[in-house]
Amino acid sequence: MAQSDSDYKSLIEQAERALINEEWQYALTLFEQLLPLAPDTAERAEVLNGRGVALLKLERYEEAIAVLEEAQKLEPGKAEVYFNRALICESIGDFEGALAFYNQTIELKPDDAEAYFRRGGIYFQSHQFEETVADNTRAIELHSGEAVTGPYIARGLAYHQLEQYPDALKDYSQALEIDPRGAADAYFYRALIHIDMEEALPARADLQAYLLMTDDSDGLLATQAREIIEVLDNEA
């Protein structure tokens, strides 16, 4: 391998590691250094995509869009670019645009579990709960064997809205079995199902478990959990 190729590979690894470590400004600097070094169109599109991610994380959305549009022109079939365009649309509240870009992502990469999960979130925002269930079911299938809880919680929320309470309870319980602390919100949401089913004791138990396991003890859900417990105690 030529020295320049070795240097390029080392620099790209540093830039990707900076993204993983959430060192957004450092990643941006590295990707900018890489641009004139990219040996071909595909590599340049990859660098532009990384630069776009860093700009997105820095909330420099207009710049991120411009960079990702350039990447799209170079590599129109690169699914990751459309996915990142969708993330930008979500960040600025353009859910219609996000849906369109997630659709394109899935068309180009039908096994992208995260795209299904996030598109399910867009459907949930627009009260398309059946579609939310379908997308999160697909995400769960694609994550088979992985310790992932997000799609179970998201599908549980949709089942709740559809008043399919047993299915919602099953999904929340599955998330908690996988990661009881990381998926602590599932305790709160499962409690709401029990309340709708007029099951005060398991509802109270889940709310207490949520308060014990959550890392956000001063957050909105924690405040609501305490208020609901007080109401349940007064009604007992």
pLDDT band at 146 (very low <50, low <70, confident <90, very high): confident
pLDDT digits (tens, 9 = 90+) for 186-223: 999 999 999 999 999 999 999 999 999 999 999 999 99
Percent of the chain whose predicted confidence (pLDDT) is above 90: 93
Residue 2: what pLDDT? 47
pLDDT digits (tens, 9 = 90+) for 77-115: 999 999 999 999 999 999 999 999 999 999 999 999 999
pLDDT band at 7 (very low <50, low <70, confident <90, very high): confident
Output the average pLDDT for the chain: 96
pLDDT digits (tens, 9 = 90+) for 162-182: 999 999 999 999 999 999 999
CA dihedral (188, 194, 200, 204) in degrees, to 10, reads -20
**pLDDT beyond 50 at 62:** yes
Supply the Cα-derived Rg of the chain in whole angstroms.
Answer: 21
**pLDDT beyond 80 at 3:** no
Secondary-structure breakdown of the chain: helix, strand, coil percentages, each rounded to the nearest 5: 80, 0, 20
Fold of 1-109: 1.25.40
Domain ranges of the chain: 1-109, 111-163, 184-236
Are 188 and 207 spatial neighbours (Cβ–Cβ below 8 Å)? Answer: yes
76: how many CB neighbours lie within 10 A of its CB?
12
